[in-house]
Amino acid sequence: MTTTAEPQVFRSPGSRGLWAWVTTVDHKRIGLLYAVSAAVFFLIGGIEALLVRTQLFGPNLEVLSAEAYNQLFTMHGLTMVFLVVMPIAAAFTNYFLPIMIGARDVAFPRLNSFSYWLFFFGGLLIYSSFLLGGAPDGAWVGYAPLSTQLTEVVRMDFWTIGLALLGVSSLGASANFIATTFTMRAPGMSMLRMPVFAWMSLVVAFLLIFSLPSVTIGLFQLFLDRNFGALFYASAAGGDPLLWQHLFWIFGHPEVYVLILPAMGIVSEVLPTFARKPLFGYPFVVFSGAAIGFIGFGVWSHHMFTSGMGPIAEAGFGVATMIIAVPTGVKIFNWLGTIWGGKIKYNTPMLFSLAFIAMFVIGGLSGVTHAVVPSDTQQHDSYYVVAHFHYVLFGGAVFGYVSGIYYWFPKWTGRKLNEALGKVHFWLALIGFNLTFGPMHILGLNGMPRRTYRYPEGLGWANWNAVATIGAYVILLAFLVFAWNIVRTHFLAKGERVGNDPWDGRTLEWTTSSPPPVHNFDTIPVVHSLDDFWHQKYTEDDEGRAVRIPAVTEGALTVDEETGGGDESHEPDEDMHMPSPSFYPVVSAFGFAITGAGLIYLPWGFLGVGVGVAIAVWGLFGWSLEPVTKEH
């Protein structure tokens, strides 16, 4: 990180190396930490998926024990949802939300650091279970009473406690992003001038804030049932396991939008940039995103159509689920409208975004079939459902995030990822993905249940399973190419060096250097319109074509029109006091994690709880009492 000579940025130097990363409160560094963690977990979760697929390659195989299989599919789901897609979304939000709205950091930099470290320790805690008697094996949804009955082992406690920690982390991050968006926008950056990605991050933050508490309560109830003899889900004593499904899905369904909306935001940034046209119907994209979030709270029971809720509830939730297809469809049409007639550049980020649309439409359409209750009753817990949500979450969300990585990699590192390798990655990923998950539709409709350890010969499932497993290895190959591309470009420094604005972008992050300085902007920009940076670079001729304004150099900062346009009055802001690094957030997060670990091993774990609470309280007190910016 370099500091420019002028203006002066006061920021205590802190330590270098690893300690600087541990104590960092810089939103960009925290974003990168999220990204690297997500990449590591993506590798682990991918290996788990490959093991599962290998077991299912042919009938009656025994590559894994049934026990190991249960642990692997549970951990695959858990990892991909909570430790890969959520953190990669958090990585993008952390890095770009403040820059996109013209702020110097998030509202609470130390809370941001705390959120990251709590996520990190939570993930570590969940994965430590592999070494401590076995990983959680009750599926990522942890349905009671299966999850409450395995009391002789601690496996599902790793899951309850781990998820609770991740939940607190997400709550902190979400409150932070909401406060940032509502209070720290640059002058002129009204809500309807915010980039769509910032909007989608805001909607996601609201979804998490209002849905996580529900599953947190459910997790506590499960924990009390498992460890203290509570009877929330004990049907013999009058408890009702269905309550867990409600509490879980009240969170779980908005969670689906938490995973997909940031990817939609990324696509809404990438498409206009490479189609060289403004986003078609910006307010519609924004409001349909908000509508998806809002309606998303009213559809949770469509996961429970086979639980016997009765025809009225089923009809109601079925209709609500169909309605949610409307704002989603609006977005699809807006994206198509955006690329329609554009001068499309087919580079890697664009290809992934276009594939996102196609794959997401397939996943969305199979989703609508679940809204039809009689049809859903047939598909429930079959491979058809597995196919559906992988089309949405892999072909949808993951492709969107990969597109974002290609798009913003130059901003992170100052180097472009290699285009040729990128195209190899793209085509392998697209083909591998469809080979893997396309056949699962057929398998599901032929009756193959999900979470199947082994299947006999003669059911007609063997061939499609073999195809799916081969496809999974093609995906592996694709992502190895991707990993090599990143290593080559960044770590071997062979990537093409680029300036501030390699893609001729539209949003504020392209006005600052690559990578951005600690303080993001020398002068806080003044925003005059949507896509402000674009309008500084281009004007329209009589026929509505974009014409470059010659005077403004690439990456120039906003010049206030009233102070005389062309005159480069680059008055840097007064001295900026960036927050000092702090190790209290990581201490507090560590205390929380130790507390959680102690809870898993009750009763003697109470010792750990005591130690953990003491550490957490020390961290929180130190945190509240230390000044934000230390004197020199």
Partner 1 sequence: MATDTTEIEAVDAGRADHGEDHIEHPSPAQYWLIALILAIITAVEIGASYISALEGPLLVSILLILGGVKFAMVVALFMHLKFDKPLYRNFFLIGLFGALAMFVVVLLTFRAL
Partner 2 sequence: MSDAAVTDTGHAEASGHHDVKPVRKTAMWVFLGSECVFFGAMISTFLLYRNTTNGAPGSEIFNIPFTSASSFILLMSSLTMVLAHNAFEKKDLRQTRVWLIGTVLLGSTFLAGQIFEFTEFIHEGLTLPASPFGSSFYMLTGFHGIHVAVGVMLLAAMVVLSFSGRLYDDRGLNVELIGLYWHFVDIVWIVIFTVVYLLQV
Write out the catalytic residue numbers: 76, 105, 140, 169-170, 253, 255, 257, 268, 302-303, 328, 331, 450
Residue among 12, 65, 66, 182 that touches partner 1 (CB under 8 A) = 182
Stretch that binds partner 1, among 16-24, 145-153, 159-167, 239-247 (CB under 8 A): 239-247
Contact call for residue 377 and partner 1 (CB under 8 A): no
User: How far are the Cα atoms of 168, 438, 440, 495 from residue 435, in angstroms, in the given order?
Assistant: 37, 6, 9, 31
How buried is 604 (Cβ within 10 angstroms: 0-12 exposed, 13-18 middle, 19+ buried)? exposed
Binding to partner 2, residues 84-103 (CB under 8 A): 103
Contact between residue 600 and residue 158 where contact means Cβ atoms under 8 Å apart: yes
Of 117, 29, 122, the C-alpha closest to 623 is 117
| Residues whose CB falls within 8 Å of the CB of residue 509, separated by 6 or more in sequence, listed in order | 96, 99, 100, 408, 411, 516
SS3 546: strand
Q: How far is the CB of 393 from partner 1 (least distance, A)?
A: 24
Contact between residue 93 and residue 84 where contact means Cβ atoms under 8 Å apart: no
Q: How far is the CB of 313 from partner 2 (least distance, A)?
A: 15
Report the distance separating Cα 96 and Cα 411, nearest Å. Answer: 10
Binding to partner 2 by CB under 8 A, coded x per residue (else -) over 586-625, reads --x---------------------------x---xx-xxx
Contact call for residue 493 and partner 2 (CB under 8 A): no
Contact call for residue 293 and partner 1 (CB under 8 A): yes
313 binds, among partner 1, partner 2, none (CB under 5 to 8 A by kind): partner 1
Report the distance separating Cα 249 and Cα 578, nearest Å. Answer: 41
What are the residues facing 89 on neighbouring strands? none
Contact between residue 247 and residue 199 where contact means Cβ atoms under 8 Å apart: no
Contact between residue 224 and residue 127 where contact means Cβ atoms under 8 Å apart: no
Alpha helices by DSSP H, listed for 132-234, are 146-149, 155-183, 196-228
Report the distance separating Cα 363 and Cα 388, nearest Å. Answer: 5
SS3 266: helix
Stretch that binds partner 2, among 31-39, 273-281, 372-380, 570-578 (CB under 8 A): 570-578
Residue among 182, 340, 346, 606 that touches partner 2 (CB under 8 A) = 182
Contact between residue 622 and residue 607 where contact means Cβ atoms under 8 Å apart: no
Of 17, 102, 52, the C-alpha closest to 523 is 102
Of 427, 367, 425, the C-alpha closest to 391 is 367
Residue among 55, 79, 160, 301 that touches partner 1 (CB under 8 A) = 301
Binding to partner 1, residues 204-233 (CB under 8 A): 206, 209-210, 214
Contact call for residue 235 and partner 1 (CB under 8 A): no
Contact call for residue 310 and partner 1 (CB under 8 A): yes
Contact call for residue 184 and partner 2 (CB under 8 A): yes
Contact between residue 518 and residue 1 where contact means Cβ atoms under 8 Å apart: yes
Dihedral (CA of 298, 286, 196, 98) sign: negative
User: How far are the Cα atoms of 94, 145, 231 from residue 149, in angstroms, in the given order?
Assistant: 39, 6, 12
Please identify, using beta-carbon distances, which residue of 183 and 624 lies nearer to partner 1: 183
SS3 126: helix
373 binds, among partner 1, partner 2, none (CB under 5 to 8 A by kind): none
Stretch that binds partner 1, among 292-300, 376-384, 501-509, 610-618 (CB under 8 A): 292-300
616 binds, among partner 1, partner 2, none (CB under 5 to 8 A by kind): partner 2
Eight-state DSSP code of residue 151: T
What are the residues facing 382 on neighbouring strands? 449
Q: How far is the CB of 243 from partner 1 (least distance, A)?
A: 8
One-letter amino acid for residue 374 of the chain: P
56 binds, among partner 2, partner 1, none (CB under 5 to 8 A by kind): none
Contact call for residue 210 and partner 2 (CB under 8 A): yes
Stretch that binds partner 1, among 17-25, 179-187, 221-229, 467-475 (CB under 8 A): 179-187
Stretch that binds partner 1, among 163-171, 309-317, 479-487, 614-622 (CB under 8 A): 309-317
310 binds, among partner 1, partner 2, none (CB under 5 to 8 A by kind): partner 1
Residue among 10, 57, 284, 294 that touches partner 1 (CB under 8 A) = 294
Q: How many beta carbons lie within 10 A of that of residue 412, not counting itself?
A: 18
Contact residues toward partner 1 (CB under 8 A) are: 178, 182-183, 185, 187, 190-192, 202-203, 206, 209-210, 214, 240, 242-243, 246, 250, 287, 290, 293-294, 297-298, 300-301, 309-310, 313
Contact residues toward partner 2 (CB under 8 A) are: 103-111, 114, 168, 171-172, 174-176, 178-179, 182-184, 209-214, 216-218, 220-221, 224-225, 228-232, 234, 237-240, 243, 247, 250, 524, 573-574, 576-579, 588, 616, 620-621, 623-629
